[in-house]
C-alpha cells in the first residue's frame, strides 16, 4: 500500500510495551515494543535507516517526511515543528521469528546526555503529552516506507498537594490556637532556663579583675629563735 507521498505503507501500529517492567511510563519517557519483522519488504535494504518519529498528537497531520537525512528534525525543533526523529536503527536490529527470552523494547526519551541539537538524540520528553509515534524508513534517495501512527500516549504527571478549598472550620481554628499557645509557652520556658543557667554559672565562678590586689604576708626566717638546748651541757 502506498501513502499519499508515494511511501510504502506498512500496516503496523507501534505499541506500548506489554511487559510488566518498571518505568514503562514515567514523567519523561515511555517504552515501546520493538517492531520485529516489520521491515522485510524487498524494497527495504539492510543499509536503510529506520527512524522513530515522535510527534505531539495534534501535529501528526502536518508531518512531512524529510527528503534527506541532513534535513531530519531534532529535539530542539520539537517546540516549533511538533515532531522530531530519533532512535535510528536498521532492520537487522528488528529481526522476525520467535522472540527470545531477552527483553526487546525501545525506551523513548531515555538519553539525558545528548544535545537536543544532535541528530537522532533521544532526549527526555518535555511534558505529559499526549504523543504519537511511527516508524519511518529512509534510504540515501529519501523516504521509503512508514508505519501507521500509534494511539495517544500520555506520560505520568507529578502530583501536587493542595490545601482543601473553602474556609476553615471552627474546630480547626481552635486546634491551631491551642498549638500556638503551647508553642509560645515552650519557647518562654526554654528562654527562662537559659537565662537561669547563665546567671548561675556567672555567680559561682570567681572572676579576678585587673584592679584587685593580692596581699601576701612575708615571713623572715632569719629572726626565728633557735630552740634552747635541753638539759645543758
The full DSSP string for 103-137 is --EEEET--SSS-TTSTB--PPPSSS--EEEEEEE
**Element holding 172 (H helix, E strand):** helix 170-203
74-113 pLDDT tens trace: 999 999 999 999 999 988 888 877 665 566 788 999 899 9
Q: Give the Cα separation of 204 and 197 in Å (integer).
A: 11
151-184 pLDDT tens trace: 999 998 876 545 555 555 777 788 888 988 888 8
| Residue 111 burial class via C-beta count within 10 angstroms: exposed 0-12, middle 13-18, buried 19 and up | middle
- Categorize the per-residue pLDDT at 229 as very low, low, confident or very high, splitting at 50, 70 and 90: very low
Indicate if the pLDDT at residue 231 is higher than 80. Answer: no
pLDDT at 99 (0 to 100): 60
Domain boundaries, given as residue ranges, for the chain: 8-147
pLDDT at 233 (0 to 100): 43
Specify the pTM.
0.64
The pLDDT of 180-200, averaged and rounded, is: 85
Amino acid at each position: 500500500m502506498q501513502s499519499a507521498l508515494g511511501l510504502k505503507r506498512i500496516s503496523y501500529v507501534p505499541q506500548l510495551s506489554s511487559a510488566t517492567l518498571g518505568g514503562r511510563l514515567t514523567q519523561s519517557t515511555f517504552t515501546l515494543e520493538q517492531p520485529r519483522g516489520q521491515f522485510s519488504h524487498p524494497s527495504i535494504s539492510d543499509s536503510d535507516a529506520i527512524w522513530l518519529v515522535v510527534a505531539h498528537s495534534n501535529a501528526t497531520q502536518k508531518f512531512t517526511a524529510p527528503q534527506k537525512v541532513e534535513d531530519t528534525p531534532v529535539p530542539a525543533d520539537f517546540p516549533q515543528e511538533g515532531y522530531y526523529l530519533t532512535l535510528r536503527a536498521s532492520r537487522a536490529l528488528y529481526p522476525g521469528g520467535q522472540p527470545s527470552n531477552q527483553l526487546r523494547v525501545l525506551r523513548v526519551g531515555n538519553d539525558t546526555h545528548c544535545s537536543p541539537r544532535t541528530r537522532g538524540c533521544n532526549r527526555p520528553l518535555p511534558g505529559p503529552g499526549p504523543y504519537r509515534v511511527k516508524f519511518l524508513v529512509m534510504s540515501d534517495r529519501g523516504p521509503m516506507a512508514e508505519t501507521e501512527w500509534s494511539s495517544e500516549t500520555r506520560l505520568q504527571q507529578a502530583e501536587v498537594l493542595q490545601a482543601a478549598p473553602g474556609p476553615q472550620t471552627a474546630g480547626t481554628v481552635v486546634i491551631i490556637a491551642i498549638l500556638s499557645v503551647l508553642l509560645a509557652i515552650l519557647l518562654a520556658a526554654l528562654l527562662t532556663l537559659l537565662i537561669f543557667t547563665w546567671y548561675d554559672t556567672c555567680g559561682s565562678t570567681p572572676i579576678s579583675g585587673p584592679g584587685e590586689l593580692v596581699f601576701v604576708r612575708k615571713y623572715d626566717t632569719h629572726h626565728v629563735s633557735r630552740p634552747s638546748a635541753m638539759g645543758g651541757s
